[in-house]
Structure 1
Amino acid sequence: MPAPVSHLARARVDDAGTGIALMLAAWGVFSLVDTSVKWLSLAGIPALQLAFMRFGVHLVLSTGPMLGRDHSGWTAPRSLALAMLARGGLLMCATICNFFALRYLDLAVVAAITFAAPVVVCLLSVPLLGERVGPWRWGAIVLGFLGVLVVVRPWGAAFHPAMLLSCVVPFALGLFSILTRRLAGVAAPRTMQLYAGIVGALCLAPFAAAVWVSPEGPLDWALLFAIGAFAWFGHDLFGRAHGYAPASVLMPFSYSFLLYMALTGWLVFGTVPDAGTLAGAAIIAASGLIIWWRER
């Protein structure tokens, strides 16, 4: 999941159509990350190795554009650096849990649970940001968590323990989003991306080395490196989209991720979301849209 763009960001060009197209493209690319991870997981590649490659390649691609520029983006005051390192740690936590869960869960299930993150952000904004939440948004929060219960169904045969790991993801991404809000306007986006890559690559390198499994064929090798490239490219498209249209216009189109994941799950793995997953995903999406509507 990408970092949210600050509400302080202004569109460079008033072109909502271009922004929406870039937003749809970004979420399409993000779906390729999870699809590739699931493919490689089923091929026997450990989740920690996949997470390392996601951050390692992302770090290389993030560092390249900064070479030859002034070095102001490389360093930061200690308190700011610690905040960006914590932000990177939260993204790493979400990525690891997501990659472990993808081995066992359908893509549509993972996508539906992940999109509870806006609900978590709304919930945590009260104690952490001091925001006021009215009855509409409280109702949306309750509705969102009911939607997660419908997807997970801990009372039925469809429940898998990996769903518990997947449920960690929206909470980690929620905290990640709140910390990004606090850093917006203080730290440059490219600096935050750089720190996130450094945290993930350095922390996961020894674990990846310990469990490393070499892919068997050229396709698997290509996908192993493509994971980080897809993630970096998706973030780039996501940021560019907000240069053409404000977040209030683009947010509803983020739910295209659910459609992308259902489609790739069917095309690549032959899985079709069941009625419970579809119903839960619809409830979660509705709760997120209610929150978006009230925040506008």
Structure 2
Amino acid sequence: MLTGVQPREERTGYGVALMAVAVILFTCIDTAAKWLILAGLPALQVVFVRYAGHLIFALAFYIPREGREVFKSRRPFMQVLRSCCLLGSTTLNFLALSALPITVTTTIFFAMPIVVTLLAIPMLGERVGIRRIAAVCTGFIGVLVVVQPWSTVWHPAMIYSLSALMLASMYFLFTRMLAGQESNATQQVWSAGLATLALVPIALTEWVWPQSPLGWFVFAAVGFFGFSGHECATTAHRLADASILSPMIYTQILWAAVAGIVVFSTWPTIYTLGGGLIIIAAGLYIWQREKALLRAGTDAS
């Protein structure tokens, strides 16, 4: 077995519970980032703090267990590509959050299973049949309902969110390619470490310190949310099948709505909710279809 790579276990209930916690923590990342940006911190500094904190927690957690092995990668070029996609996605998402309600950015990200399905054709050589293509098209109709490019509520920041969606989808595809080849420790340290190094010269040029005790708490917590959320999600996928865990991500619309109302006093619009339902329906169909294909032992659809 590869160093640091833990074996799969069949503990479905625990895996689902961990994935549910991961979704809450992912919502906390976005909520903390939006709060810090609205409090006056530059968006790129918030991205840096998110990854620097993530790196500190990852090193503190993994080095006592695995030592310098956490820095060694068998696929360094793939790790760099994966890390760049994650950094780009986070940066664009935080820029979008500075102008858009958290429910809007969250709902747009619900199209990720749909985008992954499309990108898996050229990147992973997967075959996708007509019914899943129809589900993909339906999902994009839902995205159009959310962003409303034809109306006066359209905001240019939605381009940031859509671009972040594309990069995040590529990040998960690269993660799938590295599965079984790299340990979770290596992937966490590389993704957080490369992002931190890339942002140091940019973040320090316009540094702003928090101005209140609450600001300092959120400032420190955003990195913890990043590390613990990814740790929970990765462990969950070791304990339960991805096909079982995938629908859990849709519970984020509930937490995003709660965060929007409680923290930012914004309510989701009928277009956000309606478009979200269309995207979720399309995503659930793709999920159900993939499960059926796995049971049938075929990659046709």
Q: What displacement does 1:217 show?
A: 0.5
Query: How many angstroms apart in 2 are the aligned matches of 1:53 and 1:202?
Result: 11
Alignment correspondent of 1:157: 152
Describe the shift of the 1:125–1:243 C-alpha distance in structure 2 as closer, same or farther (beyond 3 A): closer
Deviation at 1:10, TM superposition (A): 6.7
Match of 2:132 among 130, 137, 143: 137
Report what 1:33 is aligned to: 29
- Range 80-89 or range 68-77, more displaced: 68-77
Which of 188, 192, 202 is the aligned partner of 1:207?
202
Deviation of 1:214 after TM superposition, in Å, equals: 1.3
Per the alignment, in what secondary structure is the counterpart of residue 239 of structure 2?
Answer: coil
Does the Cα contact within 8 Å between 2:63 and 2:70 map onto a contact in 1?
Answer: no
In 1, Cα distance between equivalents of 2:182 and 2:236: 20
Contact 1:101 1:162 (C-alpha < 8 Å) held by counterparts: yes
Amino acid in the other structure paired with 2:87 = M
Instruction: Tell me what 2:73 maps to.
Output: 76
Equivalence for 1:229: 224
8 Å CA contact retained: 1:48, 1:204? yes
Q: Distance in 1 between matches of 2:87 and 2:109?
A: 15
How many angstroms apart in 1 are the aligned matches of 2:228 and 2:174? 22
TM-score (norm 1): 0.92
Q: Counterparts in 2 of 1:99-114, with a 5 A limit?
A: 99-114=94-109
Distance in structure 1 (CA, Å) of the matches to 2:267 and 2:43: 24
TM-score, L = length of structure 2: 0.91
Alpha-carbon distance in structure 1 between the residues aligned to 2:7 and 2:69: 23
Equivalent positions of 1:124-273 (< 5 A) are 124-273=119-268
Is the contact made by 1:10 and 1:246 (CA closer than 8 Å) also made in structure 2?
no
Matches of 1:265 and 1:274, distance apart in 2: 11
Determine the structure 2 residue equivalent to 1:120: 115
Q: CA RMSD in A?
A: 1.5
Contact residue 184 and residue 234 of structure 2 kept, 8 A: no
Whether the aligned pair in 1 keeps the contact of 2:58 and 2:189 (CA below 8 Å) is yes
Q: Which runs of 5+ in 2 are unaligned?
A: 1-5, 292-301
CA shift, 1:253, in A, is 1.4
| Percentage of identical aligned residues | 40
- For residues 65-122 of structure 1, give each alpha carbon's deviation from its aligned partner in whole angstroms, at most 9, with x where no partner exists: 3324343332234xx1111011001000000000011011111100011121111110
Q: Paired residue for 1:5?
A: none
Task: Tell whether the 8 Å contact from 1:143 to 1:284 is kept in structure 2 after alignment.
Answer: yes
Q: Name the CA distance, whole Å, in 1 between partners of 2:175 and 2:19.
A: 19
Q: Call closer, same or farther: CA 1:50–1:70 in 2, change over 3 Å.
A: closer
Aligned residues: 285
CA deviation vs aligned residue, 1:33-85 (integer Å, no higher than 9, x gap):
111111111111111000000100111111123324343332234xx111101
Give 1:64's aligned residue: 60
For residues 74 and 37 of structure 1, the distance between their equivalents in structure 2, rounded to whole angstroms, comes to: 28
Q: Match of 1:72, as an amino acid?
A: E
Q: Which residue of 2 aligns with 1:19?
A: 15
The answer on 1:44 being equivalent to 2:43 is: no
Aligned residue for 1:67, secondary structure, equals helix
Partner SS state of residue 128, structure 2: coil
Larger displacement relative to structure 2 (59-68 or 256-265):
59-68
SS in 1 for 2:50: helix
Structure 1 unmatched runs, 5+ = 1-8
Quick one: structure 1 residues 175 and 210, their matched pair in 2 at CA, closer, same or farther if it must change by over 3 Å? same
CA distance in 2, matches of 1:17, 1:132: 31
Per mean C-alpha deviation after superposition, the further-off stretch among 280-289 and 61-70 is 61-70
1:55 and 2:51 correspond: yes
Q: The residue matched to 1:131 in structure 2 has which SS?
A: coil
SS of aligned partner of 1:213: coil
* Alpha-carbon distance, 1:229 to partner: 0.5
